Every structure is written in C-alpha cells, then in structure tokens.
Structure 1
C-alpha cells in the first residue's frame, strides 16, 4: 500500500486527516502529517520529516501532499522526493486526500493522476435556486 505523508503549515495536515477519518469512519493506515510553524528552520525539520516518511513507507512508495507550492512545507517535501518512489503534489485539499486514500492500492502514477483530478474536480461553484 502506498503511504501518504502530509507536510503543511500549522495544523492543516492533521485537520485534513481528521476530516478524512470522519468521512471514512476510521483512521486510514500508513498516513502521517508534519505541521510546520513560522519558527521552524527547514534544515532542522528535514531529519524529522525523513523519519516520519519512513513510518508510512512499506516499500510500495509514498505520496507526499503539501499545501502551497513554493512555501516551506513544499520545499522540505521536495528535498525528500525520489521520482517514481516518493512523489509530491502541492495544493492539497480534502477531495484530493480522499481520492488518494481511495486509490492508494494502485500504482503510484495512477495514484498521482487520480489525486490531482480529485483535488481539481472537488473545486466547483455551488449554485442554489
């Protein structure tokens, strides 16, 4: 099973995981999150991030999810990326996380594509009559 590792600002990652637990009615296995604060030095965080990455990696690979491309959480995650084994998507939202959890038994390229479309398709204008 492909592991999922969220690296986000503050408590966003844990909040997304808690929402996914509510929807799925259980905490999914092989999922972890690391929340960064403004005071965190990316070089100091990297060893902890690498350790946590190992917690979710059973050898099938890991999908890392971050909130904002180019921000510190994404930059830390980018240092952990290993193409084809440990991949990274920025712009995480709850539909993306739920799609990733649903497709994590598939190959990593399929999981990447499904997670991205889930995140994009989950954003829509709601119109009421």
Structure 2
C-alpha cells in the first residue's frame, strides 16, 4: 500500500485527513505533519525525514501532499525526495479534499503511483468550480 503523508501549515493536514476519513473510513499508512509559527524549520525537516523514512519502511512508494508550492512543507518534502527514485516518490502541492479522496480511492484499488498521481491531480482540479458556472454547464447539456 502506497504511503501517504499530508504536510501543511497549521492543523489543515489533520482536518483534511479527518474529513477524508469521515467519508472513506480510517486510512492506514497515512501520516500528517503540521507546521506552526513556533515550529523551527529544522524540527519540521527532521519530522518530515522521519515520516518519509517510516513510510518507505511500510511501502515501496510514498506520496506527500502539501498545501502550498514552494512553502516550507513543500520544500522539505522536495528535499526528502532529492535522493529518492522519482518512480517511487511524489510531492503534490495544493491538496484539497477531492484530490485526497481520489488518492485514497485509487490506492484502495491498488493502482500504481503514476495513476494515483494523475487521477488525484485531475480530481483536485475538477473539484474547484463555482455554482453558477456549474449550472450554466448543465443547462448546455
């Protein structure tokens, strides 16, 4: 089973995992990391390294979902990937609930990391819309 780590600012990672598990049930081999004002980058980096290493002990493949491109959680996830096989490690920024649910669903279906990455990003992008735009699209059909 592919290991999943959700790394974000504040309690967002805990909240989004809680929401996903409310919908899909408890998820194994999934960890969260939280970065707060009082957290040093060094401590966060150490925790990221520990979580990634632990995930690789459980699985051949690991995906890290982060909230923002080029922010500390993302940067630390990328730094942890610099000596990893790119076919076994993915870092995806902009995590949202549709993306995470799709990743869990594809993982449950035992899809490969490339498929999970592609489908999760697609679901994340398609999960963003506005009510009246949706209604307009439905009226066209």
TM-score (norm 2): 0.84
Gaps of 5+ in 2: 137-141
Computing the radius of gyration from Cα coordinates, the structure with the larger value is 2
112, 116, 125: which one aligns with 1:120? 125
99, 111, 117: which one aligns with 1:96? 99
The alpha carbon displacement at 1:41 in A equals 2.1
CA RMSD of aligned residues (A): 1.6
Does the 8 Å contact 1:65/1:89 carry over to 2? yes
The alpha carbon displacement at 1:38 in A equals 2.0
- Cα shift readout 1:72-100 (whole Å, capped 9, x = no counterpart): 11111111123121210000000000011
Q: Aligned pair count?
A: 128
The alpha carbon displacement at 1:125 in A equals 1.1
Could you tell me how far apart the structure 2 residues matched to 1:88 and 1:75 are?
A: 10
Could you tell me how far apart the structure 2 residues matched to 1:40 and 1:21 are?
A: 26
Matched, 1:30 2:22: no
TM-score (norm 1): 0.91
Q: After superposition, where does 1:21-100 map in structure 2 within 5 Å?
A: 21-24=21-24, 26-57=25-56, 58-81=58-81, 82=84, 83-100=86-103
The structure that is helix-richer by fraction is: 2
